[in-house]
């Protein structure tokens, strides 16, 4: 276990390097072939603000995701993947490190990851893979540690880079890189977040959504209209724009993966798509994200796609967590973290790839809301800590003040009937687990407290994007 006492950053770097050296010596474990890892290369895409239930492969009837649907038909689809936060930077830092926000200390957008924490780039980079990250907002620049190449460039006067431009840069990198060397590429795209910007819709995807006369996707819309009194025209417009941005991003992911297949053997490349969090779209009276931890906020798509002889198609219904992403990908790339002595919160999901109903005995999924700042308190956020735990069947939400919330997700997936006052041993068990987990996490800082100093340009971006 890496201790962060004393001189935390330096000490943890030294220990991490020696541990990672050991990893290289480990014998081949599940996920490796006898003559090497299951995959040489990784392309990981994170789509900002992407609800799983707005993708065809997760049952959405509108044509938002033809390419991801193809990947889902061939690859492994995790039906119930849960994010650690409903806020961008903390959630991404968890994907990259297998630590929860209290541990990696990236609690709000703009904060930086401690270079002493060996995340995805450090782990795979130390194993000889060339690493690169291309993100679409400047405020994720703080996740640079460990990446050999990192690009968070946004044009002057803009607050984000559109997915086609970010993918263009990633493709240039793929084409120019040293051939033959293994690589791990992370690409972050942001466009669905910007569905609130009515004037910049990606044509022709937007037209296509408007022309989609079927509109079966409006089931949720009608539900919200009846249950929560949202004006139908407002929601309809927001959902059309959101779906159009998803379709645009879907096409860009196709371009990226096709370019990766040109640059390196597609059979030796693992392709992964997930999201940092979802979006309210009116559900639980929230249009955006960040303020609460309901399923529309914390359920993310998670798709693994690779050569089908090594990764058979399957839909995994066992709940999994974003902390499980790093150990799973590392193991598929021949770097099993389970024996590295590195502290991680997740487990490798490889047994689920072999047997989707395997019981890994993993802990419930833990999610934590970002801490509210003054602006958020002014617009009505409750001061204090909000946490959630879920195990696939039940979910407990600890609000800053009672009443807390308890849902039976099997009978009430939309979380409309709070059962907090009902007698339930499941409720008590989940509450006790959540309290103990949070207690242990907040005593387990693996980085120094984040600096309040944020780059002035990033601050400007965060203001323009409505974060502060």
* Smallest gap from residue 280 Cβ to Zn ion (A): 13
Give the residue with the Cβ less far from Zn ion, 88 or 162.
88
Write down the least CB distance from residue 79 to Zn ion, Å: 21
Does residue number 141 form part of the binding site for Zn ion (CB under 5 A)? Answer: no
Locus of tokens 């993100």 = 135
For the CB of residue 88, give the shortest distance to Zn ion in the complex, in Å: 3
Please say which residue, 91 or 399, places its beta carbon nearer to Zn ion. 91
Beta bridge partners of 275: 47
**What is the distance between the alpha carbons of residues 51 and 53, in angstroms, rounded to a whole number?**
5
DSSP of 48-60, one letter per residue? TT--GGGSGGGT-
276 binds Zn ion (CB under 5 A): yes
Query: Cα(57)–Cα(64) distance, rounded to whole angstroms?
Result: 10
Binding mask 30-69 for Zn ion (x = CB under 5 A): ------------------x---------------------
* Contact present, 253 and 45 (Cβ < 8 Å): yes
Residue closer to Zn ion, measured from CB, 48 or 218: 48
| Burial category of 466 from C-beta neighbours within 10 Å (exposed 0-12, middle 13-18, buried 19 and up) | exposed
Q: How far is the CB of 278 from Zn ion (least distance, A)?
A: 9
Shortest Cβ 325–Zn ion spacing (Å): 16
Binding flag, residue 318, Zn ion (CB under 5 A):
no
**Alpha-carbon gap, residue 268 to 215, rounded angstroms:** 39
Q: Is 314 helix (H, G, I), strand (E, B) or coil?
A: strand
Residue whose CB is less far from Zn ion, 240 or 276: 276
Q: Is residue 88 part of the contact set for Zn ion (CB under 5 A)?
A: yes
Q: Which of 311, 268, 256, 252 minimizes the C-alpha distance to 78?
A: 311
Q: Interacting stretch for Zn ion, rule CB under 5 A, among 88-96, 176-184, 298-306, 351-359?
A: 88-96
> Given the complex with Zn ion, which of 88 and 103 has the nearer CB atom?
88
Q: What is the largest CA-CA distance in the chain?
A: 63
Query: How many angstroms separate the CA atoms of 246 and 241, rounded?
Result: 9
CA gap 57, 81 in Å, rounded: 14
Q: What is the CB neighbour count within 10 angstroms for residue 205?
A: 22
Closest residue (Cβ) to Zn ion?
88
Residue among 12 and 295 whose Cβ is closer to Zn ion: 295
Q: Tokens in use for 62?
A: 């509108």
**286 within 8 A of 307, measured Cβ to Cβ:** no
Task: Tell me which stretch binds Zn ion (CB under 5 A): 11-19, 106-114, 269-277, 422-430.
Answer: 269-277
Minimum CB distance to Zn ion smaller for 91 or for 103: 91
Q: Is 85 or 126 the residue whose CB approaches Zn ion more closely? A: 85
Answer yes or no whether residue 250 interacts with Zn ion by CB under 5 A: no
Q: How many residues interact with Zn ion (rule CB under 5 A)? A: 3
Write out the binding residues for Zn ion, residues 173-212 only, by CB under 5 A.
Answer: none
Asked whether 365 and 321 are in contact (CB, 8 A), the reply is yes
Instruction: Say whether 206 sits in a helix, a strand or coil.
Output: helix
Beta-ladder partners of 395 = 390, 407
| Minimal distance, residue 361 CB to Zn ion, in Å | 31
For residues 276 and 345, which CB has a smaller minimum distance to Zn ion in the complex? 276
Q: Which of the stretches 82-90, 156-164, 364-372, 378-386 binds Zn ion when contact is defined by CB under 5 A?
A: 82-90
Residues of this chain that interact with Zn ion (CB under 5 A) are 48, 88, 276
């Amino acid at each position: 276990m890496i201790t962060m006492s004393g001189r935390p950053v330096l000490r943890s770097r030294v220990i991490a390097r020696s541990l990672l050296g050991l990893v290289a010596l480990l014998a081949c474990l599940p996920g490796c072939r006898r003559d090497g890892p299951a995959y040489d290369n990784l392309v990981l895409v994170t789509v900002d603000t992407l609800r799983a239930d707005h993708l065809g492969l997760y049952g959405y009837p509108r044509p938002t995701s033809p390419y991801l649907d193809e990947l889902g038909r061939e690859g492994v689809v995790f039906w119930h993947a849960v994010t650690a936060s409903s806020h961008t930077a903390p959630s991404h830092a968890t994907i990259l490190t297998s630590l929860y926000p209290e541990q990696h200390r990236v609690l709000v957008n703009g904060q930086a990851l401690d270079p002493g924490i060996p995340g995805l780039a450090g782990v795979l980079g130390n194993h000889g893979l060339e690493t690169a990250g291309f993100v679409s907002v400047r405020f994720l620049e703080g996740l640079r540690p460990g990446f050999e190449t990192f690009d968070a460039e946004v044009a002057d006067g803009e607050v984000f880079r559109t997915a086609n431009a970010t993918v263009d840069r990633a493709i240039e990198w793929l084409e120019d890189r040293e051939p033959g060397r293994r690589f791990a590429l992370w690409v972050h795209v942001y466009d669905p977040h910007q569905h609130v910007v009515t004037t910049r819709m990606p044509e022709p995807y937007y037209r296509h959504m408007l022309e989609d006369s079927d509109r079966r996707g409006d089931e949720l819309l009608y539900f919200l209209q009846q249950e929560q009194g949202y004006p139908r025209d407002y929601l309809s417009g927001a959902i059309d724009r959101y779906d159009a941005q998803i379709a645009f991003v879907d096409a860009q992911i196709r371009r990226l993966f096709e370019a990766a297949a040109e640059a390196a053997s597609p059979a030796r490349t693992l392709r992964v798509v997930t999201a940092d969090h979802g979006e309210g779209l009116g559900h639980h009276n929230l249009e955006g994200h960040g303020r609460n931890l309901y399923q529309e906020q914390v359920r993310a798509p998670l798709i693994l796609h690779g050569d089908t002889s090594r990764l058979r198609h399957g839909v995994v219904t066992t709940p999994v967590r974003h902390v499980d992403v790093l150990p799973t990908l590392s193991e598929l790339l021949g770097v099993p973290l389970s024996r590295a002595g590195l502290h991680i919160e997740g487990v490798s999901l490889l047994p689920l790839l072999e047997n989707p109903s395997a019981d890994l005995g993993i802990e419930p999924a833990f999610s934590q809301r970002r801490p509210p700042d003054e602006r958020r308190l002014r617009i009505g956020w409750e001061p204090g800590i909000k946490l959630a735990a879920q195990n696939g069947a039940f979910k407990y939400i600890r609000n800053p003040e009672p009443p807390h919330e308890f849902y039976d997700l099997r009978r009430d997936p939309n979380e409309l009937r709070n059962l907090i006052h009902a007698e339930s041993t499941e409720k008590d068990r989940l509450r006790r687990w959540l309290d103990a987990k949070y207690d242990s996490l907040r005593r387990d800082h693996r980085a120094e407290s984040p600096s309040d100093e944020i780059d002035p340009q990033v601050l400007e971006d965060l203001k323009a994007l409505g974060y502060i």
